[in-house]
Every structure is written in C-alpha cells, then in structure tokens.
Amino acid sequence: MTTNEQRQSADVFEQLPLTERVWVLRQLRDETVGGGLLIMAALIALILANSPWGDAYQELSDFTIGPEALNLNLSLDKWAADGLLAVFFFVAGLELKHELVKGSLSKLSQAAVPVAAALGGMIVPAAIYAAVNLSATDGDPGGWGIPMATDIAFALAVLAVAGRRLPVALRAFLLTLAVVDDLGAITVIAIFYSDKFEPLAFAASLLCMLGYWLAQRARITSPLVYLPLAFLAWAFMHEAGVHATVAGVALAMLTRIKEDPGEHEAPAERVQHIVHPISAGFCIPVFAFFAAGIDLRGQSLTTAFEYPVAIGVILGLVVGKPIGVLLGAWFTARFTRASLAKGLSWLDITAVGMLAGIGFTVSLLIAELAFDDGSETQEYAKIAIFAASVISAFFAIIALRIRARSYRQMYDVDERDDDQDGIPDIYQTERGLP
C-alpha cells in the first residue's frame, strides 16, 4: 500500500479540524435540546388525544386559519406540516451546504463512507417495507418512503442519556448521516409524494428563488428583502402542488456559505444561528404535537402490529436501518481501503445505525402524505413509527452501554485541556499528550 493510501485509510472518523469540531458541537447542542422538547410534545399529544380532551385536541388540529385568496386557509396541523417543517428543512439545507463546502462531504475521500452509509440506510429499509407490503394481499406499498428517514433531534436526545461521551467524530458521522437522509427524504417527497402539479406556480416560486440568489450575489443583508422572497417562494411552491418544504431546502442551498474578505461569518452561518434554535425549540415540537396525537381508544394494538404497513415500517426502521448503514459503510470502506480510527469498531457504526432507526419527525410527515388523513392505514403507520423509534432507541442504548468504557477513554483524550485555554490539548500536541 502506498503512503497516500495509508494516509487515506485513516480518514474515516478521524479527529475533526478544530473549526469543524466547534461547528458540529454547536449543532448537536441545539438538536439535543430540540429532541427533548420533541419527545415531550409527542407525549403530551398522545396523552391529550386519548383523554377526555381528545375531541378538543382534534378540533384544535382541524382549526383553519389563513388567507383563502392565496389558497392558504389551512388547518393548524397542515400549517405545522407544510409551514413549520419548511423551516426545519431550511436548517437541514444549511447544514447540508456547510457539509458540502466546509465539512465532511467537501472531500470525496471523507464523504464516501457517510454518504454510502446514508444511502444504504435509505434503500434497505424502503426495500424491506416494499417486500412486506407487495407480498401481502392487504399491503399498501405506497408508504415505502416512511422508514427511510432519520430524526437527528430524537436520536441526540437518546445520546444525551446513553452516549454523552460518544467521540465527537462519531457524533459528527451521525449528524452527516442525518443530513444526507434529510436530502434523500425531501427528494422522495418532492418526486413521489407531491400531486396536482401547477407549472405556472412552480415557475413563480423559481423566480422568487432567483431573486433570493441575486440578492445574495449583491450582498444585500436586509431581512426585509429575504423574508418576503422566502415566503412567496414557499407559498408558490405550495400552490404548485410540490410539498412546500422543498422550498426550504432550495432556499438554504442558495444561501452564501463562504465568507468575503474581512467578513466574520457568511450569511448561512449567521442565519443558522438565528433560525436553528427556532426550528429545534418551536417548529419541530409543534409539528410533533399535531402529528403524534394518535387516538388509540377503541383500537387494538395487536391488530395494528399485524397490519403489513406497520410490519414494514417496524422492520424497515429497526432492522433495515442498522443493516443498511453498516453494509453501506463497510463495503465502501473496503472498496476505498479506508479503516476506522483507532479505538472504534464496527459495533459503533451499528449503534449509529440503530440510532438512525429513530425516524420520528420526517417519517410522520411521509405517513401523512402517503395515506389519507384519518385513515386506518395512516393511524397504523404512525403507531408503527412510534414503536419502531422506541425499539431502535432501546437497542441503541444497549449497544452504546456495551462500548461505554471505550468511549470514556476516547472522550477523555479528546476533551483533555490541561492548560485551561478552551482548546483541547489534542489540537496542540501530536497526540494530546504532554
């Protein structure tokens, strides 16, 4: 093996550059807080939907508001799915652009393994779901996109309990995996779960995006320019029949990520500091509140778990995700002759794959798009998403606990700061040793 190949073999999950480490830890901190709020909101919704206030909860979800003239007189649960999740996907798009330009996806040698792992983690679950439902007489293959998603906020909430000392590079891998997953999910939504396409409205949305891009090129900084353009791009996308969250990702990808000379932060970084806490602390929990309120009164959970849609979702997320992530990463590492960083094992990648099986937020969105509102199939799919996310979290916690001692040792080396200057010693000495 050549020197260059030996150098490449140490690229997978190696120590992050200091600036990238700071960015990753900031993203993870916001997502972890959001994950806790997400779980609380979902539990409150579930309790309300099955309490004496269940009818009032449903009436609140169905309450409509918005201008009829713009076809935006939507129910609150639709505003949450189409509007608030557009903010979530805008943040996901900013994260993706950072990864593509500055982060782990900016170099082919570093991007190959997480991208392959993410693709495996989307393809295998979708294939399992499709196989189950195509082979069953009462199956519904239309929900094949449900088990493809990863809920990074929920997954990091689990990490906050069981994997607080997971090496930063491995947590960054989970973040990259989820970002690529989000791109895959929004692509699937745009192509397969949109209907009644209106080309004129779509063209109008593209014109608004062009105006947004030109404003970026002109270095305009006033939100009075960007907010109207962003809202109109979203509204026209909604009118076009393409799921409005697509506009969020598109606008994020048009936001400038590279700093000008003398500029402390690029617009993408500044906007992300502002919008990310709003997305994690408000948008995602509110969506979960309206999407997770499944009325289980009068339903047999045993029957629900016997339904092919539920079986496909559970097998896809619980079994398909870790298998797909592991196989994608392992085969790519073998093909590129890459190896894991010292101290890590393939069990760690499997644990990340189990965390990726927590598909909550985007899975719920796809379930709402794939099946008729209030239908039995949609309810069974949502129940399965709940169950699969909990089961995946449980298995991930076990896998992380098995490796807890090794994580603690790596964490202590990563975080060691004897001179108390705020910079880990590993960035100042060859191996983090005096």
DSSP class of residue 256 equals -
Q: Is 316 among the domain residues?
A: yes
Last residue of a domain, one of 206, 224, 242: 242
DSSP result, 160-177: HHH-TT--HHHHHHHHHH
Confidence (pLDDT) at 214: 96
Pair (135, 260) in one structural domain: yes
Amino acid at 7: R
Domain that holds residue 208: 195-242
Q: Is 143 among the domain residues?
A: yes
Pair (207, 247) in one structural domain: no
Contact 269, 97 (CB under 8 A): no
Q: Is 428 among the domain residues?
A: no
Pair (156, 293) in one structural domain: yes
Pair (264, 201) in one structural domain: no
Domain count of the chain?
2
The one-digit pLDDT tens for each residue of the chain (434 residues) are 344 444 444 455 666 666 777 677 777 777 777 788 888 998 999 899 889 998 899 999 999 998 887 788 889 999 998 999 999 999 988 988 888 888 777 777 777 888 899 999 999 999 999 999 999 988 899 999 999 988 888 887 887 776 667 777 777 788 888 888 888 888 898 888 877 788 999 999 999 999 999 999 999 999 999 999 999 999 999 999 888 889 999 999 999 998 888 888 899 989 998 998 899 889 999 999 998 888 877 666 677 788 999 999 999 999 999 999 999 989 888 887 767 767 678 888 898 899 999 988 889 989 998 998 878 899 899 999 999 999 999 999 898 888 877 777 666 666 666 666 666 756 665 444 44
Pair (257, 341) in one structural domain: yes
Pair (254, 219) in one structural domain: no
Pair (263, 372) in one structural domain: yes
DSSP result, 308-368: HHHHHHHIIIIIIHHHHHHHHHHHHHHHHT--BPTT--HHHHHHHHHHHT--HHHHHHHHH
Helix (H), strand (E) counts: the chain: 20, 2
The structure tokens listed for 368 are 């709402």
Which has the closest alpha carbon to 54: 63, 45, 62?
A: 45
Q: Is 105 among the domain residues?
A: yes
Contact 315, 129 (CB under 8 A): yes
Pair (219, 177) in one structural domain: no
Which has the closest alpha carbon to 193: 142, 119, 264?
A: 142
**CATH number, residue 42:** 1.20.1530.10
Alpha carbon of 331 to those of 114, 134, 160: distances in Å?
12, 28, 30
Pair (297, 231) in one structural domain: no
Q: Is 431 among the domain residues?
A: no
Q: Is 206 among the domain residues?
A: yes
Pair (183, 212) in one structural domain: no
Q: Is 409 among the domain residues?
A: no
Pair (213, 293) in one structural domain: no
Q: Is 17 among the domain residues?
A: yes
How far does Cα 405 stand from its chain's mean position? 28
Pair (268, 329) in one structural domain: yes
